[in-house]
Amino acid sequence: MTKADVARPAGLRAGWLAGGVVAVLVALIAGLAFGSVSLPPAGVAAELLNLLPGVHLHSGLTDREVAILTELRLPRVVLGLLVGGLLALAGAAYQGVFRNPLADPHLLGVAAGAGLGVTAVISLRTGAIGDATANLPIGVPVAAFAGALGAVALTWLLGAAGGRDRSPATLILAGVAVSSFLAAGQTYLMQQHVETLREVYSWLLGRLATAGWHDVLIVLPYAVVTAVIVLAQRREFDVLTVGDEEATGLGLHPQRSRYLLIVAASLGTAAAVSVSGLIGFVGIIVPHTMRLLAGPSYRSILPLSVLFGGAFLALADLLARTAGGQAEIPIGVVTAFFGAPFFIVVLRRSRGAS
Amino acid sequence: MSDRAIRVRDLRVRLDGNLIVGGVALEVARGEWVTVIGPNGAGKSTALRAIGGLLPFTGTVELDGTPVDRLPRRERAKTIATVSQSPTVPPGMRVLDYALLGRTPYIPPLGRESAADLAAVDEVLESLDVARFAGRRLETLSGGERQRVFLARALAQGAGILLLDEPTSALDIGHQQEVLELIDRLRAERSLTVLTTMHDLTTAGEYADRMVLLAEGVVVAAGTAREVLTEENLAKHYRVRVRVIEGDHGPLVVPVRG
């Protein structure tokens, strides 16, 4: 730490912001350049710039390559950036409002609640069978949001039953119980509606595979609302770290902030789950890495989680597309592969601290 | 403006259905130091937290003449600052950032610390002799240093009334004296009103202008240290045999074996 740094309040440093933007650009170009057909990264960058108004660069790509780039890969990479950013932001927000380093959209049961909601609308609807979000662009996110809020409320109530001195693990245990319960409900629904099994299953494993922009357009408004609400309150997150009573003494309304932020984070989780299924661990890997690298202030953790979370998921998707040879690996498998060991590390650290 | 900084009448607080504070009345004049004493479970901390607006209560608590429950939260935070008995130490937070939390009531929603907020905190850190720790993580400081940083956060609130719950309970006697002298100096320099709870009766009596003895949620004695710290009062409410000896700055309370 330099001397000038000492005199400045905690917050997002320009260097880290630039690092996050670079990470997003690297993920974007890598995600566009590599795949079943490899394209030269410089040409990809030139074509990306050509999308900006008034720019006309010669990229050296054929028309067919440009079509792969802009119509197949770009929507998928952008969706990865959005979903990854949302999941990481939601994870950081849950960690802040619950003052719990282990909180994560999946471990709290929020994603399972959203999953049950989506499964319910897919299974119970009448009519065309096909792609979930293509057929139900409004119904799926709304059902996901309802399921997500119900699940987080249930987890919170169960976790609070442990009394005031509960450890961080109590809330997570409650989340695991809620997740199992909701997953059981989901399995039951799937069993009862075998005709939609395939559709639900392909969505459930986590996917960014659907081509076209409609998933991006579905998730975008929710992403904007979530990001605006959560990022606007980033200083409140830091005040909340001293606990509710002291935060009250400092003029805050902790419970009111907490409700608002839980709703916002659950909205973001629900939107992400609606379009991409269950992709785990992003909400825990990314915020904790940011905390380790850029410091404990939520004023840097929250915005950096958006950028690095997006980059992380876009790169994980690249791995999912390319590492398995012909068959794609479900992206949820890739993130779990990295996330589960990471979670053990966080668990050990949080036990050491308490 | 009222010359009473704190005026409490018929204060009652229930926690989980149990009546912890059962009708307390007390007043603290502007610039005065009043210390609440009493055996464990007498309701000292609970009463203090209610006066600071941190717990729901019935009765009246007026700060500078305004009922505390009618002050908006941010206004209340500019009027009264509480240092709890063992404040939370947020992991990894630097001393500067911790003290800046005290400026929260001055920072508009969605805003950030202004140059004035930074200057206020610099001045407070300097005055408490903790400016050299500004870049250190709070958890790396010793007990005495931490207590001064907790005070810094409270002073940064710019409030005229300071509530201190057991400000010396974690400190050895040397650091106890150091912190209490510091509070007394700040009280004079910044014309603060101080209401505190304390366990050590002799020390409490040496620094307080007046004392209030609580037992089982009610005031059983109030007045100067000489009036409150009597052998009869302490025998009755602490169930302890003590010898009270006249000291230079008030009575010295010495427990003797029964």
CA dihedral A83, A84, A87, A93 (to 10 degrees): -120
Q: Residue A338: its pLDDT value, please?
A: 86
- pLDDT (tens digit per residue) in B42-80: 999 999 999 999 999 999 999 999 999 899 999 999 999
Nearest CA in chain B to A352: B91
Q: Residue A28: its pLDDT value, please?
A: 96
Q: Which of A7, A241, A249 sits opposite B90 (nearest CB)?
A: A241
Query: How many interface pairs between A and B have CB atoms less than 8 angstroms apart?
Result: 82
Is A243 at the interface with chain B, CB within 8 A? yes
Residues B59, B23 contacting (CB under 8 angstroms): yes
> Are B112 and A11 in contact (CB < 8 Å)?
yes
Q: Could you tell me the strand order of the sheet in which B210-215 lies? A: B80-83, B161-165, B193-197, B33-37, B210-215, B218-223
The mean pLDDT of B205-231, rounded to a whole number, is 95
Q: How many whole angstroms separate alpha carbon B144 and alpha carbon A335?
A: 46
Q: Residue A209: its pLDDT value, please?
A: 67
Q: Which of B224, B221, B220, B197 is nearest to B209 (CA)?
A: B224
Residues A120, A113 contacting (CB under 8 angstroms): no
> Are A291 and B92 in contact (CB < 8 Å)?
yes
Nearest CA in chain B to A297: B93
Token representation of residue A177: 């119980």
Chain A residues whose beta carbon lies within 8 Å of the beta carbon of residue B110:
232-233
Residues in Cβ contact with B167 at an 8 Å cutoff, skipping those fewer than 6 apart: B83, B147, B151, B179, B180, B183, B196, B198
> Are B134 and A249 in contact (CB < 8 Å)?
no
> What ipTM describes this predicted complex?
0.92
Q: How many whole angstroms separate alpha carbon A319 and alpha carbon A324?
A: 8
Token representation of residue B131: 């400016």
Q: Residue A208: its pLDDT value, please?
A: 77
> Are B93 and A9 in contact (CB < 8 Å)?
no
Q: Which helix (H) or strand (E) holds B186?
A: helix B173-190
Q: Which of A6, A291, A295 sits opposite B134 (nearest CB)?
A: A6
Q: Residue A36: its pLDDT value, please?
A: 81
Residues A50, A57 contacting (CB under 8 angstroms): yes
Residues in Cβ contact with A27 at an 8 Å cutoff, skipping those fewer than 6 apart: A77, A80, A81, A310, A311, A312, A314, A315, A318
Note the pTM of the prediction, 2 decimals: 0.90
The mean pLDDT of B129-152, rounded to a whole number, is 94
- pLDDT (tens digit per residue) in B102-140: 999 999 878 889 999 999 999 999 999 999 999 999 999
> Are B90 and A232 in contact (CB < 8 Å)?
no
Is A221 at the interface with chain B, CB within 8 A? no
> Are B104 and A250 in contact (CB < 8 Å)?
yes
Measure in Å the smallest separation between the Cα of A296 and chain B Cα atoms: 6
Residues in chain B: 258
The amino acid that residue A237 corresponds to is F
Q: Does the pLDDT at position B224 exceed 90?
A: yes
Q: Residue A199: its pLDDT value, please?
A: 74
> Are B93 and A241 in contact (CB < 8 Å)?
yes
Chain B residues whose beta carbon lies within 8 Å of the beta carbon of residue A242:
87-88, 90, 101
**Mean of per-residue pLDDT scores for chain A:** 86
Chain A residues whose beta carbon lies within 8 Å of the beta carbon of residue B122:
7
Q: Which of A139, A130, A103 is nearest to A305 (CA)?
A: A103
Residues in chain A: 354
Chain A residues whose beta carbon lies within 8 Å of the beta carbon of residue B94:
6, 10
Q: Which helix (H) or strand (E) holds B48?
A: helix B44-51
Chain B residues whose beta carbon lies within 8 Å of the beta carbon of residue A11:
112
Q: Which of B49, B92, B118 sits opposite A9 (nearest CB)?
A: B118
Q: Could you tell me the strand order of the sheet in which B66-67 lies? A: B18-29, B4-15, B58-63, B66-67
Chain A residues whose beta carbon lies within 8 Å of the beta carbon of residue B87:
242, 246
Q: How many whole angstroms separate alpha carbon A42 and alpha carbon A60?
A: 9
The mean pLDDT of B16-40, rounded to a whole number, is 94
- pLDDT (tens digit per residue) in A79-106: 999 999 999 999 999 999 988 888 888 8
In the DSSP assignment, the letter for residue B108 is P
Residues A293, A7 contacting (CB under 8 angstroms): no
Q: Which helix (H) or strand (E) holds B212?
A: strand B210-215
- pLDDT (tens digit per residue) in B179-193: 999 999 999 999 999
> Are A9 and B74 in contact (CB < 8 Å)?
no
Q: How many whole angstroms separate alpha carbon A243 and alpha carbon A350?
A: 17
* DSSP-derived 3-state class of residue B219: strand
Neighbour-count burial for B23-35, b at 16+ CB within 10 Å, e otherwise: ebebbbbbbbbbb
Nearest CA in chain A to B108: A235
Q: Does the pLDDT at position B15 exceed 60?
A: yes
3-state secondary structure chain A: CCHHHHCCCCCCCHHHHHHHHHHHHHHHHHHHHCCCCCCCHHHHHHHHHHCCCCCCCCCCCCHHHHHHHHHHHHHHHHHHHHHHHHHHHHHHHHHHHCCCCCCCCCCCCHHHHHHHHHHHHHHHCCCCCCCHHHHCCCHHHHHHHHHHHHHHHHHHHHHHCCCCCCCHHHHHHHHHHHHHHHHHHHHHHHHHCHHHHHHHHHHHCCCCCCCCCHHHHHHHHHHHHHHHHHHHCHHHHHHHCCCHHHHHHCCCCHHHHHHHHHHHHHHHHHHHHHHHCCCCCHHHHHHHHHHHHHCCCHHHHHHHHHHHHHHHHHHHHHHHHHCCCCCCCCHHHHHHHHHHHHHHHHHHHHHHHC
Chain A residues whose beta carbon lies within 8 Å of the beta carbon of residue B102:
250
The amino acid that residue A294 corresponds to is A
Is A205 at the interface with chain B, CB within 8 A? no
Residues B91, A353 contacting (CB under 8 angstroms): yes
Token representation of residue A140: 């799926």
> Are A239 and B104 in contact (CB < 8 Å)?
yes
> Are A9 and B157 in contact (CB < 8 Å)?
no
Q: Residue A210: its pLDDT value, please?
A: 65
Residues in chain A, pLDDT under 50: 1-3, 354
Q: How many whole angstroms separate alpha carbon B234 and alpha carbon B243?
A: 10
Q: Residue A354: its pLDDT value, please?
A: 43
Q: How many whole angstroms separate alpha carbon A353 and alpha carbon A216?
A: 40
In terms of Cβ atoms closer than 10 Å to its own Cβ (0-12, 13-18, 19+), residue A202 is middle
Q: How many whole angstroms separate alpha carbon A295 and alpha carbon B96?
A: 14
Q: How many whole angstroms separate alpha carbon B162 and alpha carbon B158?
A: 10
Cα atoms in the Cβ-side hemisphere of radius 13 Å centred on A4: 1
Q: Which of B92, B101, B113 sits opposite A250 (nearest CB)?
A: B101
Q: Which of B87, B96, B107 sits opposite A242 (nearest CB)?
A: B87
Residues B163, B81 contacting (CB under 8 angstroms): yes
Q: Which helix (H) or strand (E) holds B179?
A: helix B173-190
> Are B118 and A239 in contact (CB < 8 Å)?
no
* Chain B interface, best mutation among A99, A241, A253, A301, by max B CB count within 10 A: A241
> Are A353 and B110 in contact (CB < 8 Å)?
no
Cβ-based interface (< 8 Å): residues of B facing A: 49, 52-54, 73-74, 76-78, 81-82, 84, 87-88, 90-94, 96-97, 100-102, 104-105, 107, 110-113, 118, 122, 134-135, 157
Token representation of residue A184: 């059981």
Q: Which of A151, A83, A91, A94 is nearest to A117 (CA)?
A: A151
Q: How many whole angstroms separate alpha carbon B39 and alpha carbon B235?
A: 11
> Are B97 and A9 in contact (CB < 8 Å)?
yes
